[in-house]
Amino acid sequence: MINLIFDGFLEVMYDSLNALIPLLIILFFLHFLFLKLSIDMLIQIIKGILFAFFGLVLFLHGVNISFINTGYMTGEVLGTLKNNWIIVPIGFVLGFIVTFAEPAVKILNNEIEKITTGYINKRIVLMFLSLGVAFSVALSMVRILTGISLWYFLVPGYLIALILTKFVGPLFVAIAFDAGGVVTGPMIATFLLAVILGVSKFVEGSDPLIDGFGMIAMVSLMPIISILVLGLIYERSNNKEVYVDEK
């Protein structure tokens, strides 16, 4: 049982440390070149980076031994069910709640609320992001069942997103496309991927590789659309594009 808890932790640590070194080198370089931070600030930043980084490694390890195993196994069970259309609503629910547990989403939402000085409420942004992810996971399940090619989702999807940018102000456009990149963090790329791979293994005619990768592409598309829609609603309900840029 103890083995199960510590399995693979040291390797993760070692790989991660290697990946962190270039960032630290560039920071030192910039520091001596022209940042010239105070010693206190420098110590705070190095301490913070180590906290953030090892926090992330711990988080990933925790997710690894808890959610991923279960995700894969439940996926397999769901894939073998007779009425397998049920995976569509289950995908919707999972997509919705997994977004809350995504670290980078939390950071983005806090910053959005801070920068717009409360004009955009972080709970509403989270709601719409979660809805976006929920729809993309549900649609990915539909893809697994029907085998429709990813192109038929991505091309119209991005077209809709690009057309919507015509009707939404620049603030929401910038936030929407930022959000598309942020949402697919470690939780979705590991836990949801495990569920999808599990399901797709047992549904006839579904290729785990193609369907698994496609899910992440969908998850980075739908939140763009959902935040643009939120922008439409926000700007319309405030009559016009009220958001006066700070002067």
Q: Which parts of 81-100 interact with another protein (CB under 8 A)?
A: 93-94, 97-98, 100
Among 8, 28, 46, 148, binds another protein (CB under 8 A): 46
Question: Environment class of residue 212 by beta-carbon count within 10 Å: exposed (0-12), middle (13-18) or buried (19+)?
Answer: buried
Q: Taking CB under 8 A as the rule, does residue 245 contact another protein?
A: yes
Which run of H or of E encompasses 82? none
Q: Taking CB under 8 A as the rule, does residue 196 contact another protein?
A: no
Q: Are 211 and 143 in contact (CB under 8 A)?
A: yes
Which run of H or of E encompasses 185? none
Please identify, using beta-carbon distances, which residue of 145 and 180 lies nearer to another protein: 180
Q: Taking CB under 8 A as the rule, does residue 11 contact another protein?
A: no
Q: What is the DSSP letter of 192?
A: I
Among 127, 142, 154, 233, binds another protein (CB under 8 A): 154
Q: Taking CB under 8 A as the rule, does residue 113 contact another protein?
A: no
Cβ of residue 32: shortest distance to another protein, in angstroms? Answer: 13
Among 8, 89, 156, 170, binds another protein (CB under 8 A): 170
Q: Taking CB under 8 A as the rule, does residue 242 contact another protein?
A: no
Q: Are 230 and 125 in contact (CB under 8 A)?
A: yes
Please identify, using beta-carbon distances, which residue of 79 and 145 lies nearer to another protein: 79
Q: Are 109 and 125 in contact (CB under 8 A)?
A: yes
In this structure, which amino acid lies at residue 6? F
